[in-house]
């Protein structure tokens, strides 16, 4: 029998106890991955956004509009390279569904500022030429089974159509992002001028612009906000990554709540798993004494106990993480557009570190006890 086979057989000496303990620990890692994916989503860390991009919105709420003239004043600030604007439309593509990310934009400047977005020249030209034109990312195309060339009816509680009918857009193309994670959060885009003509609204939701030097982001933000500080439409300017985190934080400190639950779960699992390993050690004291009698050194016997603990925890973690990944992939299509739960690299690193740390902690006491075990005394243990 190989050493690994010996350890597996020893670990499952009491099959029911060990199996139930592993199931409990697997459930803990399953919850860890699911809860961490929610925390990552609401922290705004799910997609890497360049700090070259900045955003100016209302100081009080993103749903409050800003005067159109602000764009010219922001563009005149030294260090600002290119600027565009957008307004939140809150489009609903089918009855009973949640609103999807739908923006009214200026096509002539939007893709100039968002240079990481990729759109073919053919689709961009069509978007520029037709007033009712719209473009959509692949995520929305797949979610609502859309095709280029079709007319797309969309309703909005923010900007209801004056005739009571759904808005109708001509889907002329698709676009994507160089960032694969960001690609899942791209909005449905249509002409701002179409919205303006139909509703008479001439203000915009927010301005997005690029700057020449990211290190001057704070300085530029201060200059812009100072311009409008004493007006009825005060602004808040920040990098686009900060804006995303700020928007997510308005829902609540989800990350803190999720981490609190995770901490409680793993503290309980630590006590449960430690009890299992210590109980297993006590039952095997005579067996360990026999191993020492056969010539196994104190350190080697202690190593068996420590490795068994690590194997117990890492196996449970691997199964739990695997099930969580499959579950997240399965529920993805049922989430609102723009909400993507995924297993990120840092989450995997944390999960692996916790599994190894837990294995070391709960295996340390049995390992030290096995190392100090006296053969004569151990053989008398029942």
Q: Which pLDDT does position 134 carry in this prediction?
A: 96
Q: Which pLDDT does position 209 carry in this prediction?
A: 94
Query: What residue ranges do the domains of the chain occupy?
Result: 3-45+253-378, 61-233
Task: Decide if pLDDT at 254 tops 60.
Answer: no
- Percentage of the chain modeled with pLDDT above 70: 76
Q: Which pLDDT does position 252 carry in this prediction?
A: 46
Tell me: the pLDDT tens digits for 174-189? Answer: 999 887 667 767 899 9
Q: Which pLDDT does position 39 carry in this prediction?
A: 72
Task: Decide if pLDDT at 221 tops 50.
Answer: yes
Tell me: the pLDDT tens digits for 136-149? Answer: 998 889 888 999 99
Q: 239 has which bridge partners?
A: 54
Question: What are the backbone dihedrals phi and psi of residue 154, each rounded to the nearest 5 degrees, phi first?
Answer: -135, 135
Q: Which pLDDT does position 151 carry in this prediction?
A: 95
Higher pLDDT, 49 or 359: 359
Tell me: the pLDDT tens digits for 269-309? Answer: 777 777 766 666 666 666 666 677 777 787 887 777 888 88
Task: Decide if pLDDT at 255 tops 50.
Answer: yes
- Cβ(205)–Cβ(85) below 8 Å: yes
Task: Decide if pLDDT at 365 tops 60.
Answer: yes
- Percentage of the chain modeled with pLDDT above 90: 31
Task: Decide if pLDDT at 122 tops 90.
Answer: yes
Q: What is the mean pLDDT of the chain?
A: 81
CA angle 244, 249, 250 (to 5 degrees): 105
Instruction: Give 79's pLDDT tier (boundaries 50, 70, 90).
Output: very high
The stretch 256-269 carries a mean pLDDT of 70
- CA neighbor of 130 nearest in space, from 206, 208, 218, 190: 190
Q: Which pLDDT does position 42 carry in this prediction?
A: 62
Give this prediction's pTM: 0.62
The stretch 210-223 carries a mean pLDDT of 90
Tell me: the pLDDT tens digits for 29-72? Answer: 888 888 887 777 666 554 455 567 899 999 887 778 999 899 99
Instruction: Give 347's pLDDT tier (boundaries 50, 70, 90).
Output: confident
Helix/strand/coil (H/E/C) assignment for every residue in the chain? CCHHHHHHHHHCCCHHHHHHHHHHHHHHHHHHHHHHHHHHHHHCCCCCCCCCEEEEEECCCCCCCECCCHHHHHHCCCCEEEEEEEEECCEECCCCCCCECEEEECHHHHHHHCCCEECCHHHHHHHHHCCCEEEEEHHHHHHCCCCCCCEEEEEECCCCCCCCCCEEEEEEEEEEECCCCHHHHCCEEEEHHHHHHHHCCCCECEEEEEECCHHHHHHHHHHHHHHCCCCCCCEEEEEHHHHHHHHHHCCCCHHHHHHHHHHHHHHHHHHHHHHHHHHHHHHCHHHHHHHHHCCCCHHHHHHHHHHHHHHHHHHHHHHHHHHHHHHHHHHHHHCCCCCCCCCCHHHHHHHHHHHHHHHHHHHHHHHHHHHCCCHHHHHCCC
The stretch 101-108 carries a mean pLDDT of 93
Tell me: the pLDDT tens digits for 303-340? Answer: 778 888 888 888 888 999 899 888 888 776 666 555 66
């Amino acid at each position: 029998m190989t050493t690994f086979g010996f350890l597996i057989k020893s670990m499952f000496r009491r099959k029911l106890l060990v199996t139930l303990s592993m199931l409990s620990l697997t459930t803990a890692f399953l919850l860890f991955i699911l809860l961490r994916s929610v925390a990552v989503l609401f922290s705004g860390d799910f997609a890497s956004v360049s700090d070259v991009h900045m955003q100016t919105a209302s100081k009080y709420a993103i749903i409050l509009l800003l005067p159109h003239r602000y764009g010219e004043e922001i563009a005149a600030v030294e260090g600002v390279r290119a600027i565009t604007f957008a307004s939140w439309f809150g489009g609903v593509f089918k009855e009973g569904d949640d609103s999807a990310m739908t923006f009214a934009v200026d096509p002539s400047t939007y893709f100039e500022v968002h240079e990481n977005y990729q759109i073919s020249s053919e689709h961009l030209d069509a978007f520029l030429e037709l007033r009712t034109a719209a473009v959509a990312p692949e995520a929305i195309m797949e979610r609502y089974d859309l095709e280029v060339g079709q007319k797309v009816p969309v309703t909005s509680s923010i900007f209801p159509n004056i005739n009571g009918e759904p808005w109708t857009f001509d889907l002329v193309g698709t676009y994507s992002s160089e960032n694969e994670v960001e690609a899942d959060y791209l909005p449905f885009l249509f002409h701002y001028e179409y919205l303006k003509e139909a509703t008479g609204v001439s203000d915009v939701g927010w301005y997005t612009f690029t700057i020449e030097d990211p290190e001057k982001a704070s300085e530029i933000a201060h200059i812009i906000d100072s311009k409008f500080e004493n007006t009825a439409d005060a602004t808040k300017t920040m990098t686009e990554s900060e804006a995303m985190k700020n928007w997510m934080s308005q829902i609540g400190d989800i990350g803190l709540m999720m981490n609190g639950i995770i901490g409680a779960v793993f503290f309980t699992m630590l006590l449960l798993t430690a009890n299992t390993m210590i109980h297993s050690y006590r039952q095997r004291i005579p067996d360990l004494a026999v191993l020492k009698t056969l010539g196994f050194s104190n350190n080697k016997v202690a190593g068996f106990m420590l490795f068994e603990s690590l194997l117990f925890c890492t196996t449970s973690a691997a199964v739990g993480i695997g099930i969580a990944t499959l579950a997240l992939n399965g529920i993805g299509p049922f989430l609102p557009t723009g909400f993507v739960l995924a297993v990120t690299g840092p989450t995997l690193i944390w999960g692996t570190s916790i599994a190894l740390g837990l294995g070391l902690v709960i295996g340390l006491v049995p390992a030290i006890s096995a190392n100090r075990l006296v053969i004569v005394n151990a053989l008398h243990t029942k």
